[in-house]
Structure 1
Amino acid sequence: MLLDNFSPMMGRCHRIGSVASIAGKISMGARREVVSAVTERYRLAKRAEKGRILDELCATTDWHRKHAVRALRRRETVGPGEVEATRKRRRRYGATIKDALTALREASDRVCGKRLKVMITTLLPALERHGRLQLGQADRDCVLSISPATIDRLLVDVKVAASGGRRRRAGFDSAIRREVPIRTFNDWHSAPPGFCEVDMVAHGGTSVAGSFIQTLTMVDVATGWTECLPLVTREGSLVVEAINHAQSLFPWLLRGLDFDNDSAFMNDVVVPWCREQKLEVTRSRAYKNDQAFVDQKNGAVVRRLMGYGRFDGVETARMMGRLYAAARLYVNFSQPSFKLKEKRREGAKVIKRYHLPSTPYKRALAHPKVTAAVKKRLRDQHRSLDPVALLAEIRATQEELGNRVDRRAGQARGLQPAHTSTLPATAATFAKTLGKTVTAGEPRATHRRPRRLYKPSKLDPHIAVIEGWLAEEPQLTALAIVGRLSDKCPEEFGPRQHSIVQRLLRGLRRMTARQLVAEKLLGDAATVAPLPGVVDGSGYVRPDPPTAPLAEQAGKTTWRASVDLGSSSATAPPG
């Protein structure tokens, strides 16, 4: 029988038929050794013996019968440790076809192979008509019958050369992102507590350049329980550490995390760690509102606490951690929020219905899947909290953070303190001030705009003189004013000061226009007298009174005043 004393995959003497149970588990090298051992016997065997050899070889290697026949018919035998020589196919498309495809791709404005295949029947006659291509009948048939995959394969080096030698490759993060399943907003069907939506809020101010603090926001879908943690930089290891810390803050165990497509989440650090922790990992669709729960808290919690300024540095991150430590108790136990109940569409109108506002704490107590032990612990914690003391702590921390808004690397950059802390030391004195300082302005220091020091301008000593020139000659342009100033002070003014003079001239004319409009409105209101005659107006013979609404009359008056103001300079060249 076949191979009575040979079985390289088991290291012992028995028949091939006895290893059929492990078919598919042996390596490719072992399969090549089996083929090499029986090739000569297969070539010399009769028809019936060849059939038995093929049966046992297919049972051992899990090959298809046709593949086994082709492997045994090869003339060369492969010994142990050798690599099987690949059969070289005869090249069907030569340099002429590749040159024609290159010209066709350029004529198509460099479209992909699938689109180029459709355009060949249109572009090829045009290029032949203009003398760019002169193909024989055989080559022309090859170009017309070529497949899109072959087009892309032949033009690989052409595309690389056209892109400057850089080959576009899919990143490793893209491969991880494709492995994570998508969960839409409608896929949350009565999820139990523990499934969270996760997102990041950037505290970069008006610029995303450099490094700045990010807030990791985690929102429980079932109850709305919110946890916020500051991250010094966008890094996968910091995200893992923050999620691990958030696990100790949530009253229940985390079951699953729903991320967006941010590379800070879709990487080889965060996703494998979540799977090791037995957390279900999903992601939202790109550019879709699938994370409505966490997006709501990004504005209602994070932005209300931190504002839109720029924060960076380790010390600032520690202060933000103190702020979030007090805010999590205040928001989750004391602040109610809305939750969508149903949504339906009637034509072009979307109608939404919400549950009554409730706190995450009360939603957790009412949820049937929250254990009694967790509910008891939440009740005990709720009884020990003082919302006024928590708000006082939040305001005190916001005062400290308000002095760090928009200050990079600890530098003041010419900014004055946002506000001097005047908060009371105790919660009782803080409570007495509530409602009595409404007119003092924004109570959250993180939302106040820092006062910038006024930078003196070289035009300040000459503003009165410029206003006198404009009173005498309203049609003066900025160039004319710069010329007069350069004659008066040649060492200070020249053509380079044209822009600052132009800005000053624009502001002065805007101020004059407002004054004229206000005087015109006051004059019209003072001259209005009650109309004589009977009530129905039957005896009124004077011109009809204005019947337009007051706002429209004011708009007409403003237009006339602006025309009168600009008529004097209408013929002058633009300043």
Structure 2
Amino acid sequence: FDYLSLNKPDKGIVIRYLLKVSGYSRQQLTRLIAQYRKTGRLSRQQRTTAGFKRRYTDRDIRLLAEMDERHDTPCGHAIKKLCERAYQVFGQSDYETLAGISVSHLYNLRQSNAYQRQRRTFEKTRPKSSTIGERRKPCSNGQPGYIRIDTVHQGDLDKQKGVYHINAVDEVTQFEVVCCIERISERYLIPALEQLLETFPFVVQGFHSDNGSEYINRKVAKLLEKLRIEFTKSRPRHSNDNALAESKNGAVVRKLFGYEHIPQRW
């Protein structure tokens, strides 16, 4: 792109394009551009180090675990002050290293294997946001190739699951493809998605789903990344993000297949 001779706005366009097609982060791409600016070419640089000498040994971690157990695991600031008092006020030389520890690194030591072997605590599960897919409304700009997708279950009978329908519809042309699979596990879903994407008569550029785990997983993300398809997912409290697929579930899938149970073997 003759990057070095471009003006600043054009350089920004080239950088955004390279971010899109390469999958690199902005920081890594900046380092590669700096390397190209300095040497005129890009080369792999691999560096191995012998590591760093540990400042906090397993003995210090055991002392920290004992201190936590005596005081019922208080916050990091409280434990830091207790270690300082143990060394400075009561003269316990064993706590000399822990007396100068930072609060943030104290939490790192609590996560270490040496600490977990001596003292293990359990907390309630905390929700964690997934980094797979971009949480926003898809924008097709009036072009075909941006599909909305959803899963329709065919119902249960005597605690036996029925088949699942994968319903995908294009936002602009309303071209719709419905696949039927036995289960929504990776073994059945990935081949169905590959066949579904090939069935559309145009290049698929966008893939939008809800936050179901059948789509928000690394297998599906890897498939879409390989095909360079934009992966978006619905936002919380925005029920209209995937309303097109939801409406087609009732108007097309339920109208054709009804609500009765269809055994998975079929």
TM-score tier (shorter): 0.5 to 0.7
Task: Return closer, same or farther for 1:148/1:210 CA change in 2, 3 Å cut-off.
Answer: farther
Residue matched to 1:181: 134
Instruction: Give, in angstroms, the shift of residue 309 of structure 1.
Output: 4.3
Instruction: Give, in angstroms, the shift of residue 231 of structure 1.
Output: 0.8
Name which of 76, 80, 91 aligns with 1:117: 76
Coordinate RMSD, CA, aligned: 4.2
Find the aligned partners of 1:223 and 1:87 in 2 and give their Cα distance: 59
Deviations 1:108-148 (A, max 9, x none): 5xxxxxxx235x28x978xxxxxxxx934365995696313
CA contact (8 A) 1:196 1:258 kept: yes
1:198 aligned counterpart, secondary structure: strand
CA contact (8 A) 1:205 1:308 kept: no
1:135 aligned counterpart, secondary structure: helix
Find the aligned partners of 2:203 and 2:140 in 1 and give their Cα distance: 19
Instruction: Give, in angstroms, the shift of residue 249 of structure 1.
Output: 4.8
State the TM-score, normalizing by the size of structure 2. Answer: 0.59
Instruction: Give, in angstroms, the shift of residue 85 of structure 1.
Output: 4.6
Task: Return closer, same or farther for 1:229/1:159 CA change in 2, 3 Å cut-off.
Answer: same
Task: Return closer, same or farther for 1:154/1:306 CA change in 2, 3 Å cut-off.
Answer: same
More helix by share: 1
Residue matched to 2:223: 273
State the TM-score, normalizing by the size of structure 1. Answer: 0.31
1:275 aligned counterpart, secondary structure: helix
CA contact (8 A) 2:132 2:216 kept: no
Find the aligned partners of 2:99 and 2:234 in 1 and give their Cα distance: 43
Find the aligned partners of 1:85 and 1:277 in 2 and give their Cα distance: 39
Deviations 1:496-520 (A, max 9, x none): xxxxxxxxxxxxxxxxxxxxxxxxx
Instruction: Give, in angstroms, the shift of residue 268 of structure 1.
Output: 4.3
Letter in 1 for 2:120: A
Name which of 293, 300, 313 aligns with 2:244: 293
Instruction: Give, in angstroms, the shift of residue 310 of structure 1.
Output: 3.4
Instruction: Give, in angstroms, the shift of residue 212 of structure 1.
Output: 3.2
Aligned residue pairs total 213
Deviations 1:203-258 (A, max 9, x none): 24378x66531110112112433322211111335334333443465454422211
Letter in 2 for 1:150: L
Deviations 1:469-528 (A, max 9, x none): xxxxxxxxxxxxxxxxxxxxxxxxxxxxxxxxxxxxxxxxxxxxxxxxxxxxxxxxxxxx
Task: Return closer, same or farther for 1:196/1:21 CA change in 2, 3 Å cut-off.
Answer: closer
**Alignment map for 1:421-436 (pairs within 5 Å):** none
2:166 aligned counterpart, secondary structure: strand
CA contact (8 A) 1:214 1:234 kept: yes
CA contact (8 A) 1:180 1:281 kept: yes
Name which of 97, 107, 120 aligns with 1:162: 120
Find the aligned partners of 1:278 and 1:87 in 2 and give their Cα distance: 40
Task: Return closer, same or farther for 1:143/1:261 CA change in 2, 3 Å cut-off.
Answer: farther
Residue matched to 2:263: 312
Find the aligned partners of 1:144 and 1:103 in 2 and give their Cα distance: 20
Counting aligned pairs with the same residue, the percent is: 18
Letter in 2 for 1:276: K
Task: Return closer, same or farther for 1:243/1:146 CA change in 2, 3 Å cut-off.
Answer: closer
Task: Return closer, same or farther for 1:178/1:135 CA change in 2, 3 Å cut-off.
Answer: same
Mapped pair 1:195 → 2:160: no
Task: Return closer, same or farther for 1:136/1:197 CA change in 2, 3 Å cut-off.
Answer: same
Residue matched to 2:105: 149
1:88 aligned counterpart, secondary structure: coil
Find the aligned partners of 1:144 and 1:90 in 2 and give their Cα distance: 11
2:135 aligned counterpart, secondary structure: coil
Task: Return closer, same or farther for 1:26/1:148 CA change in 2, 3 Å cut-off.
Answer: closer
Name which of 66, 88, 91 aligns with 2:56: 91
Instruction: Give, in angstroms, the shift of residue 86 of structure 1.
Output: 4.1
Residue matched to 1:383: none
CA contact (8 A) 1:203 1:214 kept: yes
Letter in 2 for 1:117: G
Mapped pair 1:218 → 2:192: no
Instruction: Give, in angstroms, the shift of residue 303 of structure 1.
Output: 3.4
Instruction: Give, in angstroms, the shift of residue 296 of structure 1.
Output: 2.0
Task: Return closer, same or farther for 1:135/1:238 CA change in 2, 3 Å cut-off.
Answer: same
CA contact (8 A) 2:186 2:219 kept: yes
Task: Return closer, same or farther for 1:143/1:251 CA change in 2, 3 Å cut-off.
Answer: same
**Alignment map for 1:271-420 (pairs within 5 Å):** 271-285=221-235, 288-289=238-239, 290-315=241-266
1:282 aligned counterpart, secondary structure: strand
Structure 1 unaligned blocks of 5 or more: 1-18, 30-83, 109-115, 126-133, 169-173, 316-575
Letter in 2 for 1:88: K
Task: Return closer, same or farther for 1:20/1:191 CA change in 2, 3 Å cut-off.
Answer: closer
Mapped pair 1:28 → 2:47: yes
Task: Return closer, same or farther for 1:277/1:154 CA change in 2, 3 Å cut-off.
Answer: closer
Find the aligned partners of 1:23 and 1:248 in 2 and give their Cα distance: 36
Instruction: Give, in angstroms, the shift of residue 302 of structure 1.
Output: 2.7
CA contact (8 A) 1:197 1:221 kept: yes
Find the aligned partners of 1:20 and 1:252 in 2 and give their Cα distance: 42
Name which of 101, 106, 110 aligns with 2:68: 101
